[in-house]
Amino acid sequence: MTQSAKVDEPRRLIDRFGRVHNNLRISVTDRCNIRCFYCMPADNVEFMPRTELLSFEEIERVVRIGTTVGIDRVRLTGGEPLVRRDLHLLIEKLAAIPGIFDIGLTTNAVLLGEQAQKLKDAGLQRLNISLDALDPEVFKRVTRRDSYDKVIEGIQAARAAGFSPIKLNAVAVKGMTEDQIIPFAQLARETDTEVRFIEFMPLDADSKWQKEKVLLAADIVARIEAEFGKLQPVPSSNPNAPANDFVFADGVGRIGLIASVSQPFCSTCNRFRITADGKLRNCLFSHEESDIRDLLRHDGTDEDIAAAMLMCIAAKEAGHQINSADFVQPDRPMYSIGG
Ligand code: SAM
Ligand code: SF4
C-alpha cells in the first residue's frame, strides 16, 4: 500500500479489541411518562433542565461528524423519546444525513398512537416497543402507571403506519413477570411480532438490583420449550445484534433472548451512546464520560468532536463486570443514560 493510500484511509471507531463501532444510540431526553421500577425512581425524579439537553441541531451536527468516523446507524432513545416535542423533525434531519442508513427508535409506545405515522413519514425505519407484560395489572405493577391501553393503541398505530415486523422488548424479572412468558410466546406465534426477552440489568435508579431477581434466559427458554417444544436457534441477520434468536419447532413465530447478564455479548458490541445532556459513553456500565456538549457550545471544531469520539472508543473496556465481585453500578440509571 502506498503512503498516500494510508493517509487517505478513513478513520474508524475501532477499539483496542478490534471492535468496530458504527452504531450510536442517542438519548433525546431523560423524562418519561411512566416509571418502570427497574429504571426510574417511583417519584421525586430530578430531570435535567431543558437547557442542558442537546438541541436537534446539536444532535444533527454530532451525527454528521460521526459519519466521518464510521457511524452509519443511529437509534433514538431516552427516557421516553416520544415526550421530546416534535421528535419527527429530528428524524427528518437525521434521515437527510448522507451515510446514515438506519434510524431506529426505542419507545414505551404510550404516545405512539398519535405519532406513529408522523415518525414513519419522517424516515424512521425501525421501531422497538418496550412492553413487559400482556396483563394490564402486571403492567401497572412494573411501570407504576395505568397506561396499558395507550400502549396497545400505540402498537396498533405502529402496525397501521407500516412498521413491520413489530418488535417487542420485555424485561424479565423473577417473581414478577414469569407468567407473562407464555402469553408473549403465544403472541409471537399468532402475530407478526418478534418478542425479545431482556435480562434485568443493574441499572435501576433505586440500586435494588440483585442477581437473584434476574429471570435468566435459560429459564425463559425452558419455560417456553415446556409449553411449545424445542426452540431452534437461528442466526441473526445482524452479527452485532444482542439477541440470540429462536424459531419454534414448527417454524411459526420467532423470539429473541437478550442475555446481558448470563451470556454477555460484549465481544461483538458495536455501540456507543450519547446522553441527552451530551456526554459520550462507550458502554452502559461505563464510569467515564466525555463532554461533547461542552465542545458543541464552546467553539469545538468538527475535528475536536471526531477526536472525542475516537478517544471514547479507544478507552472502551473488553466487557462489563456485572458478574464480578468488584462490579460497581454506574451513577447514572438507565433513564439517564439512554437504553
Ligand atoms: N422509554 C423507552 C422504552 O422504555 O422503550 C426507551 C428508553 S428505555 C431506558 C430502553 C430499554 O431499556 C427498554 O426496553 C427498557 O425496558 C430497558 N431497560 C431499562 N432499564 C433496564 C434494566 N434495568 N435492565 C434491563 N433493561 C432495562
Ligand atoms: Fe421510562 Fe423506558 Fe425507563 Fe420505562 S424503561 S421508565 S419507559 S425510560
Find, among 215, 37, 46, the residue nearest to 140 by Cα.
37
Which ligand 2 atom sits closest to the C-alpha of 334? 3
> Does any ligand 1 atom lie closer than 6 A to the CB of residue 322?
no
Q: Is the CB of 78 under 6 A from ligand 2?
A: yes
Indicate which atom in ligand 2 lies nearest the CA of residue 32: 1
Output Rg (C-alpha) for the chain, integer angstroms. Answer: 20
Please state, as a whole number, how many other Cβ atoms lie within 10 Å of the Cβ of residue 44. 5
Q: What's the 35 CA to ligand 2 centre distance in angstroms?
A: 6
pLDDT in tens, the chain (339 residues): 444 445 566 799 999 999 999 999 999 999 999 999 999 999 999 999 999 999 999 999 999 999 999 999 999 999 999 999 999 999 999 999 999 999 999 999 999 999 999 999 999 999 999 999 999 999 999 999 999 999 999 999 999 999 998 999 999 999 999 999 999 999 999 998 999 999 999 999 999 999 999 999 999 999 999 999 999 999 887 888 888 999 999 999 999 999 999 988 899 999 999 999 999 999 999 999 999 999 999 999 999 999 999 999 999 998 998 888 889 899 999 999 998
User: What gap in Å lies between CA 165 and CA 191, rounded to an integer?
Assistant: 9
pLDDT of residue 93: 98
| Helix (H), strand (E) at residue 61 | helix 56-67
The closest residue, in CA terms, to atom 2 on ligand 1 is: 107
| Lookup: cell for 156 | 396498533
Question: Pairing mode, if any, of strands 279-281 and 254-258?
Answer: unpaired
> Is there a contact between 329 and 202 (Cβ–Cβ < 8 Å)?
yes
| 177 within ligand 1 shell (Cβ under 6 A) | no
Cα 2 to ligand 1 centre (Å): 47
Residue found under cell 395507550: 150
Residue 7's pLDDT is 59
The alpha carbon of 189 and the centre of ligand 1 are apart by a number of angstroms equal to 24
Domain range summary for the chain, segments of one domain joined by +: 9-337
DSSP codes, 66-108:
HHTTT--EEEEESS-GGGSTTHHHHHHHHHTSTT--EEEEEE-
CA of 8 to the centre of ligand 2 (A): 43
Nearest to 257 by CA among 141, 170, 334: 170
Cβ atoms of 94 and 316 closer than 8 Å = no
- Give pLDDT, residue 2: 43
The answer to whether the CB of 115 is under 6 A from ligand 1 is no
127 CA distance to ligand 2 middle (Å): 15
**Spatial separation of the C-alpha atoms in residues 115 and 167, rounded to whole Å:** 17
* Domain 9-337 CATH assignment equals 3.20.20.70: yes
Pairing of strands 73-77, 279-281: unpaired
> Quick one: cell of 137?
395489572
Answer whether 335 contacts ligand 1 (Cβ < 6 A): yes
- For the whole prediction, is pTM greater than 0.75? yes
Pocket test residue of 273, 334, 336 for ligand 2, highest count of atoms within 8 A of CB: 334
Cell 418502570 found at: 36
Alpha carbon distances (Å) from 301 to 69, 154, 295: 15, 41, 8
Residue with cell 414448527: 250
Contact call for residues 131 and 18 (beta carbons, < 8 A): no
pLDDT at 75: 98
The CA angle 267-270-272, to the nearest 5 degrees, is 115
> CA of 73: how far to CAs of 101, 126, 266, in Å?
6, 11, 18
- d(CA 10, ligand 1 centre) in Å: 34
CA dist., res. 122 & res. 124, Å (int): 6
* Ligand 2 atom at minimal distance to the Cα of residue 80: 8
258 CB-near residues (< 8 Å, 6+ apart): 169, 196, 197, 198, 199, 217, 242, 243, 244
